[in-house]
Amino acid sequence: MKDLKVRILDPRLGREWPLPEYATSGSAGMDLRACLEESKTLQPGETALLPSGMAIHLDDPGLAAVLLPRSGLGHKQGLVLGNLVGLIDSDYQGEVKISCWNRGDAAIHIEPGQRICQLVVVPVVQVRLDIVDSFEASERAEGGIGHTGVI
């Protein structure tokens, strides 16, 4: 397990609300909370940028963090991330903001401290572009969506 540098920006984190942590030994993500001053209602189709109350610094170009929706909120209520997946680069040091989108057909009420999304740290491989005139043909080649006959 690696250490993640975190600055607590909202003093309620770790006092009123637990710090993000893995729920089980097999959990891939840790829940982030909506560090709101008051309840917020998202109408159908509406988006909002919510504070997480913390800043992170991965400090390793071989890592990135991604924000993913919580499956229960997305499936049951229609609350997903406004950009579908949030990407946090290894050199970013500002507050983690959570872009939320109500893709459902009913209003969604978000309470201060509510678990709102997951933070997952993933490996990253940076590449160098190698410009070529052609590729050695693979079995798939340029076969696109549905090319196997299975949709």
The annotation places the binding site for substrate at 70-72, 83, 87-89
Taking the CB of residue 51, how many other CB atoms lie within 10 A of it?
17
Contacts of 30 (CB under 8 A, 6+ apart): 20, 21, 22, 23, 118, 119
Tell me the HSE value of 3 on the side-chain side, using a 13 A CA sphere: 3
Listed residue (3, 89, 4, 17) closest to 53, CA to CA = 17
**Phi, psi (deg, nearest 5) at residue 37:** -80, -30
Listed residue (140, 96, 147) closest to 118, CA to CA = 96
Residue 47's H or E segment, with its range, is strand 47-57
Q: List binding-site positions.
A: 70-72, 83, 87-89
